[in-house]
Amino acid sequence: MPTTSDAELKNLPETQHALQLVGPGKLVLNSSKAVIKPTGRQILAKVEAVGLCFSDLKLLKQFSKHPRKMAVVSGIDQQILDGLPSYAPDNKPTVPGHEALVRIIAVGEDCCIFKPGQRMLIQADTRHIMTPITNIAIGYGMEGGLQEYWLSDERVMCDESTGEKFLIPVDDSQCASAITLVEPWACVESSYVSQERTTIKPAGRLLVVADAGTKIEGISGGFSPDGPPAGITTLLAEDKQEEVLSALNLPVTQAADLASLDEEGYDDIIYFGSSAKTLNILNDKLANSGIINIVTAGQLIGENVSVGVGRVHYGLTRWIGTTTSDAAMSYRNIPTTGELRNNDRTLIVGAAGPMGQMHVIRDVCAGIEGVSIVATDFDAARLDALETKTAAIATQRQVDLKMVDPRSEPIEGTFTYIALMVPIGALVAEAIIQSSQGCLINIFAGIPAPTRHDLDLDTYIARDCFMFGTSGSRVTDMLIVLDKVITGQLDTNCSVDAVCGMAGAADGIGAVENRSVPGKILVYPELTNMGLINLDELVDHYPTVAEKLSDGLWTIEAEKELLSAAKA
């Protein structure tokens, strides 16, 4: 594997500009952070562009308590981490910026996977390296892209047990901004294309709870073709209910009461009954990625149930149900993915923020027949900006798109698809009220994981609703979006509303927090002295760059001119 020549290494600067997070809420622009030459299997890259994200605020506020900044416990040798200066767990200062495009300029003498000259899009979630709670990530416990030069290691950026690489090669045909924004767009894409489990988990832990007078039916109809669960834990009111389960020929363990059940201990829970009190307790027994199936047999719960809506997003938990007595019916209503369907009447709540804009544009460009979209926001100016970006595209794609500010105009009718961009539990409850039969409720916003909210599960079950959520993206999602960008199906640049260099990066994060910039903010680290500038203000700062915009939208020509004009 060739390494960078001695001459190229000699030309590297000794120091660089970097935005460092040194404590909760404490961002510091360091103009003399060392540029460290790679050794062993380390790689050094020049950062071309970085997108700012709402998730950066979570790190800013939580710092060492953020699960992706905690110390690594598995997946990579500690000796590798000890020799990697960019490993920044716990209270160590880190560099944010997980949406980044880089070009490798130097590699250590033992590198065998990546090489100098490669232009690489970062997938931040290095899922093979685990903290006590989740995987570590670039821009969290590993330094991110808000610096001129980025150092990592091949064994961080490649899972050698599977061969999955977290650096995606891209050519020079696309501008840096368009490629950088593939990562946040991939998070949106993931929420539509991620596969849903539609059966009881094979070899998993199944809990069956049945009230008195209920009939147990259809459990085997929910088994996967790959096999049944490993065993069944039961909490049954009548002996005859036990007889039905015995016929399944699976190991059965009888629980004493609800309180004795393991917390987050079951991959699947089937509840034959309609007690809100029981459901409130069962909520805490569901494991991550678990499914709870409520079989009411026509009985009403009669009151709201406290549901862990935050775990639907972060824990990938799912709630299903049926008004029949057949448990298998509920699994038939689970969609294979969260994709839009033909003729979906779609509501996007909080549509005019950066991620909401992406949902609207993605859905308009999805090519799904007969889709109509109502995009709502409490910010009229943001809605106007969104309409400016999307009206022509919607007309061209023959998508009925309407902007609504609910403060001045009621949201009319019901919907078959609802996407939530605002992390508020009450909006999930409202979505159920606004649902039509078979409604998919995409909880895209990261409602804090411990959050519970009272939901009308009677309506949810009667209308065959399905709420789901995803967190982050995978390499496969990024490749889908990258292909859309390269083929011209999607222009990620339409998300850009402001640009800056390192001098404006902290202000950019502040703008994300204050919602003062509706779309995405792009940071170009090589422009060390450039502050934050909205696109509509470019003419006052760099008129030659403003001339390169297309109807106010960011372009490859504008980027080239900015990199020339702002550096001069």
What pTM was computed for the model?
Answer: 0.89
Q: Which residues of 353-364 are buried (b: 16+ CB within 10 A; e: fewer)?
A: bbbbbbbbbbbb
Q: Identify the bridge partners of residue 85 per DSSP, sorted by sequence position.
A: none
User: What's the token pair of residue 442?
Assistant: 């995409």
Query: Closest by alpha carbon to 107, among 157, 145, 171?
Result: 157
The pLDDT, as a whole number, for residue 8 is 61
CA atoms within 13 A on the CB side of 302: 8
The pLDDT, as a whole number, for residue 308 is 96
The pLDDT, as a whole number, for residue 6 is 57
Asked if residue 361 lies in contact with residue 493, where contact means CB atoms within 8 angstroms, the answer is no
Using one digit for the tens of pLDDT, what is the confidence trace for 51-81? 999 889 889 999 999 989 999 999 999 999 9
Q: Which residues of 393-404 are buried (b: 16+ CB within 10 A; e: fewer)?
A: bbeebebebebb
The pLDDT, as a whole number, for residue 134 is 86
The radius of gyration computed from the CA coordinates of the chain, to the nearest angstrom, equals 25
Q: Is residue 418 part of a domain?
A: no
**330 and 367 share a domain?**
no
**20 and 139 share a domain?**
yes
The pLDDT, as a whole number, for residue 133 is 84
The pLDDT, as a whole number, for residue 375 is 98
**464 and 490 share a domain?**
no
Mean pLDDT by 10-residue block, N- to C-terminus, for the chain (568 residues)? 54 95 96 97 98 91 93 96 97 97 96 96 95 93 98 97 96 95 95 96 98 96 97 94 91 95 97 98 97 98 97 94 98 97 98 94 93 96 92 94 96 97 96 98 91 97 97 92 92 94 97 91 97 97 97 95 91
Return the DSSP state at 87: B
**281 and 302 share a domain?**
yes
Query: Closest by alpha carbon to 73, among 89, 85, 54?
Result: 89
**Domain residues for 516?**
476-565
The pLDDT, as a whole number, for residue 568 is 67
Q: Show Cβ contacts of residue 447 under 8 Å, excluding neighbours closer than 6 positions.
A: 309, 310, 312, 313, 423, 424, 425, 428
CA distance 81 to 30: 23
Residue 43 belongs to domain with CATH number: 3.90.180.10
Q: Which of the listed residues 122, 150, 172 is the one where a domain comes to its end?
A: 172
**523 and 548 share a domain?**
yes
**398 and 326 share a domain?**
no
Residue 412: C-alpha distances to residues 118, 376, 402, 404, 441 (Å): 51, 12, 11, 10, 17
Residue 113: C-alpha distances to residues 82, 100, 169, 273 (Å): 21, 20, 12, 56
**88 and 160 share a domain?**
yes
3 state SS of 461: helix
Number of domains forming the structure of the chain? 4
Query: Closest by alpha carbon to 157, among 194, 134, 187, 127?
Result: 127
The pLDDT, as a whole number, for residue 4 is 52
